Amino acid sequence: MLTFYSVLLAVQKDLYEYLRRLEGWLPSGFLEQDLAVLMPSLPGLLKAVETAGPTTLAEEAARLSHLSDSEMRGYLLEYWKEPSDLQFFAKVFLQPYGNWMIETGARPLDRCLEAAENRCPHCAGKPQLSYLLTHESEGSARYLLCSNCLSSWNFRRLVCANCGEEEPEKLGYFRAPELDYVRVDTCDGCKHYIKSIDLARLGLAVPLVDEVAAAALDLWARKEGFTKIELNVVGL
Ligand SMILES: [Zn+2]
Ligand SMILES: [Zn+2]
């Protein structure tokens, strides 16, 4: 699973670098318009997943590679307007674009997702994960990382990142001794969970990667009846 994830990260990095290096081009904020620049990179992702991905994804990659250009555009635009963590390819493919868009100060202008404390302030994406950082002056702070554009925002510590529940009796957490820097934050109000990476416990942790690596905790949470707020790109 981590080997496959490293392949995905490499494809995403290439796409991000390609976008950054394009001379005289910046994301417009309208995906439909920007797709002309993105589309040539899509076959590379499909090929990588066909080669390195699990069977179901490899088959889906083969199917998608036969779509016409306009069908593929339709598929990507549909995801962009209504993101779903089940749309694996669109999510993986559009994350580097979303990331570069936010970094260049553009905003998605063709999707109107709800604004809320638990949604990305830049693109209204759902949180993929949470992480804790210790600042020398202010103590420990919690951040959520956006599943669409990969930027982060500050979020209150003792609050469910899904429904906003604040009752301490309804909020729980679980940690496994062998992975003491990752924990599962659960909410009995909405029965959702999110994983938190504690960078104060392991400063070298890379939240996106360590979230995927701690897959055993997803199995635990699911067994306990919790649903993840947003599945990661390997579907856990
Ligand atoms: Zn975002
Ligand atoms: Zn909740």
| Tens of pLDDT, residues 48-81 | 999 999 999 999 999 999 999 999 999 999 999 9
What's the whole-number mean pLDDT along residues 161-184?
95
Residue 1: pLDDT band (50, 70, 90) is confident
Give yes or no for a contact between 144 and 171, defined as CB atoms under 8 angstroms apart.
no
CA of 192 from ligand 2 middle (Å) equals 6
Task: Kindly provide the b/e burial profile for residues 151-178, where b requires at least 16 CB atoms within 10 angstroms of the residue's own CB.
Answer: bbeeeeeebbbbeebeeeeebeebbeee
Asked if residue 2 has pLDDT above 90, the reply is no
Per-residue pLDDT at 135: 81
Percentage of the chain exceeding pLDDT 70:
100
Per-residue pLDDT at 161: 98
Q: Give the ligand with the smallest distance to the CA of 193.
A: 2
Tokens of 219: 């199995």
3-state helix, strand, coil in the chain (%, to 5): 45, 15, 40
CA of 99 from ligand 1 middle (Å) equals 8
Per-residue pLDDT at 66: 96
What's the whole-number mean pLDDT along residues 13-36?
96
Protein residues near ligand 2, an ion, with CB under 5 A = 160, 162-163, 165, 187, 189-190
Give the mean pLDDT of the chain.
Answer: 94
Residue 95: pLDDT band (50, 70, 90) is very high
CA of 169 from ligand 1 middle (Å) equals 30
What's the whole-number mean pLDDT along residues 15-26?
96
Q: Give the ligand with the smallest distance to the CA of 194.
A: 2
CA of 127 from ligand 2 middle (Å) equals 13
